[in-house]
Amino acid sequence: MSNRAAVRYAKAVLQQANEADLANVVFGDMQSVHATITGSKELRAVLKSPVVKSSDKKEALLKIFSAQSDQTKSLIKVLVDNKRIETLDAVAESYIALYNDSKGVKVAKVTTAVPLSEELKKKVLAKVKELTGSDSVTLENSIDASIIGGFILRVGDLQYNASIANQLGNLKREFSKSL
């Protein structure tokens, strides 16, 4: 979801936060911002709406994120002033990715048909650590019932698709070739 403008804003915020020795605090803020926006369809609609005045968007966001750091509030103000507030979620996502990258943390995204159990999470983390050679790995689990079963694992540019839907698709292609 990140676009070039969002990445540029995220880099600027990360640089500013590093200079103020608050990168970790802003990281927590960005996780909160991302979770809040992702979890609220109404908030996403308000941010994208051309009908809602920028001043109202700024006021609402500053109230919603009143517990966040001054850097985060400053980012909100800059995005509103530059008419880029609809990119707030993308900026937060980009910041999280840049922060993790700067700390050497790999993010493994696992898509499953049902939520992962704790035991399975440990096995997946161990496999990702083995594949990447990185000791710091975080796991993000998303649920997609359309994959029927199995999992899809993404780490950076690598993807491993062990879903039932993928295996059924492969079988269908094989049968189509032999006809």
Q: Are residues 10 and 96 in the same domain?
A: yes
Asked which of 101, 121, 139 is the last residue of a domain, the reply is 101
The per-residue DSSP string of 62-95 comes to HHHTTTS-HHHHHHHHHHHHTT-GGGHHHHHHHH
**Which residues span the domain enclosing 74?**
4-101
User: What's the pLDDT band for 1 if we cut at 50, 70, 90?
Assistant: very low
Asked which of 101, 130, 164 is the last residue of a domain, the reply is 101
Check residue 116 and report its DSSP letter.
Answer: P
| Contact criterion met (CB below 8 Å) for 153 and 160 | yes
> Which tens digit of pLDDT belongs to each residue from 124-143?
888 788 877 777 888 888 99
- Number of structural domains in the chain: 2
Q: Are residues 35 and 86 in the same domain?
A: yes
Q: Are residues 54 and 124 in the same domain?
A: no
Asked which of 77, 101, 125 is the last residue of a domain, the reply is 101
Instruction: Say how far apart CA 66 and CA 61 lie, in whole Å.
Output: 8
| Contact criterion met (CB below 8 Å) for 35 and 28 | no
User: What's the pLDDT band for 117 if we cut at 50, 70, 90?
Assistant: confident
From the centroid of its chain, how far is CA 11?
16
Q: Are residues 50 and 89 in the same domain?
A: yes
| Percentage of the residues of the chain whose pLDDT score is greater than 90 | 57
Q: Are residues 55 and 20 in the same domain?
A: yes
Q: Are residues 115 and 164 in the same domain?
A: yes
Q: Are residues 87 and 116 in the same domain?
A: no
Q: Are residues 82 and 132 in the same domain?
A: no
Q: Are residues 173 and 88 in the same domain?
A: no
Instruction: Say how far apart CA 144 and CA 146 lie, in whole Å.
Output: 5
CATH number of the domain at 67, please.
1.10.520.20
Q: Are residues 97 and 108 in the same domain?
A: no
Q: Are residues 37 and 115 in the same domain?
A: no
> Which tens digit of pLDDT belongs to each residue from 75-86?
999 999 999 999
Q: Are residues 41 and 27 in the same domain?
A: yes
* Residue 95, pLDDT score: 95
* Residue 48, pLDDT score: 93
